[in-house]
Chain A
């Protein structure tokens, strides 16, 4: 199985802050790394696919980058609705795996 390690596991930040999350894979994924946002009691919402492709309707303050084994998700200016848990997911392998998540809290 491909292991995904997200860091940090949790983060406290304020509205307007710029935050970056990291996802590291146990083997190269090329660009096949995706990011989801999940709010309590809700299904995951796809934000970014293939490392950097912003899904239609997702605000431009979200951006993704990386290739190979190291990937980042950046939120350029936090909004109140962005406080949630973020998961990376790899679709390089047929056996899809997720990172353990990064919880973003209000400071």
Chain B
């Protein structure tokens, strides 16, 4: 069974950097999937942040591209998200997910439980 688990600070100061890690079990980060980040502000809808492949190839949401960086650590079987220059508008539950499969248009299938990150001084 594939499982994902987000981890990282739950509170980040304005203008700081949000850093999260997604640990993967039941699959290898070097398998034939992209690995995705999605966020959801409290009481609002879902926003795709971007995706990364184990080779380091990335696709980012243009609305966030100037502030986002994703990375993969195959030795730890996890992938990471960094979001710089955060404001209160970045307060959200952040989810990591597996998918899509390479060369497919399958949607992300397995998701982490999500972690709330609050931007506040």
A residues whose Cβ falls under 8 Å from a Cβ of B: 32, 34, 36, 42-46, 49-50, 55, 87, 89, 91-92, 94-101
* B window 93-113: CB within 8 A of A: 95, 97, 100, 105-109, 111-113
Is B32 an interface residue when CB atoms closer than 8 A count as contact?
A: no
Specify which of A43, A55, A94 is in contact with B111 (CB 8 Å cutoff).
A43
Interface size on B, residues (CB 8 A): 21
Main secondary structure of the interface of B (DSSP, over half): loop
Bound CA–CA A46/B38 (angstroms): 14
28 A-B pairs with CB atoms under 8 Å apart are: A34-B107, A36-B46, A36-B107, A43-B97, A43-B112, A43-B113, A44-B38, A44-B46, A44-B95, A46-B107, A46-B109, A49-B107, A55-B109, A89-B46, A91-B105, A91-B106, A91-B107, A94-B59, A95-B59, A95-B62, A96-B36, A96-B107, A97-B48, A98-B45, A98-B46, A98-B48, A99-B45, A101-B46
